[in-house]
Amino acid sequence: MYMEYATLINGVRIPVIGFGTYKAVAGEDKDVIFRALQVGYRHIDTAAFYNNEEIVRDSIARSGIPREEIFITSKLWKDSMGYRQAKESFRKSLERLGTDYLDLFLIHWPKSSLEKEDWESEMQETWRALEELYEDGKVRAIGVSNFLPHHLMTLMETAKIAPMVDQMEFHPGYMQKTAVDYCQQHDILVEGWSPIGRMRMADDPTVAEMADRYDCTVAQLCLRFCLQCHVVPLPKSSSEERMRENLDVFDFEISQKDMSVLMTLPQLAWSGEHPDRERVYF
């Protein structure tokens, strides 16, 4: 399966489509990640909070694919914010993943809680731990997740190393343009979680009609949209057919006019997640 790569500011290459694993392993089906590897994914996104790092480990072992050919990301959860806690979270993730290094390690959310008064110093101390892990060669790249520009500005007040990645919700109808523009202006690669909008995008007639015109699925249209916005999408699926479809987005291009239509859609398919607010349910 053909795959393109992006290059982080430190020279590390990353496959431009990853496989998101949040809630991917449902019920008794423990083979989802293994199937994704068989289909051709070489970029696996997990996190301590997902409770599936051991399944990622076992799937990679079963696949027979050399470790160095797979880009593995994990993240520390809110309860592991702080210097010492971040180091311990990283150690446990390595243990669960059965590897002696990570390709990318992220701070999952900027605040351990919305009520935390000294979140700025806690986040800065967390980042200091990631910087040391990077300098010690235990992780090839470090970054953040769900950070908006004001969070990044706070982090950079004390940081020695700038984040190389910021992972955030991104799809037509919820582009977070201010955050994406800020990251790209500062050489921070943006990764997009929920790039298909939990398939609610298919309910929008504009998106559905456009997918028909490009002879592709709505998911493929959304993923291609991400790539043309220079955002690395992290789709997930339990269906092998859809896994393959989600990788098959390199042979067409959305026109500038249609990109404008997708970029200016009214807000839709938002998850309700925001780093500075309680979750909004829909």
User: Residue ranges per domain, the chain?
Assistant: 13-263
Q: CA-to-CA distance for 115 and 97, rounded, in angstroms?
A: 32
Please indicate whether residue 214 is annotated as part of the active site.
no
Query: How many percent of the chain have pLDDT more than 90?
Result: 93
pLDDT at 27 (0 to 100): 65
> What is the three-class DSSP state of 65?
coil
The two structure tokens encoding residue 209? 């009609």
Cβ-proximal residues to 23 (8 Å cutoff; 6+ apart), any chain:
50, 236
Q: Count CB-CB contacts under 10 A for residue 84.
A: 11
Query: How many percent of the chain have pLDDT more than 70?
Result: 98
Give the amino acid at 85.
Q
Which residue out of 50, 134, 174, 182 is catalytically annotated? 50
Condensed to tens digits (0 to 9), the pLDDT of residues 136-191 reads: 999 999 999 999 999 999 999 999 999 999 999 999 999 999 999 999 999 999 99
> What is the three-class DSSP state of 39?
helix
Q: What is the CATH number of domain 13-263?
A: 3.20.20.100
Residue 129 has pLDDT above 80, yes or no: yes
> What's the half-sphere exposure (Cβ side, CA atoms, 13 Å) at 277?
8
> What's the half-sphere exposure (Cβ side, CA atoms, 13 Å) at 21?
32
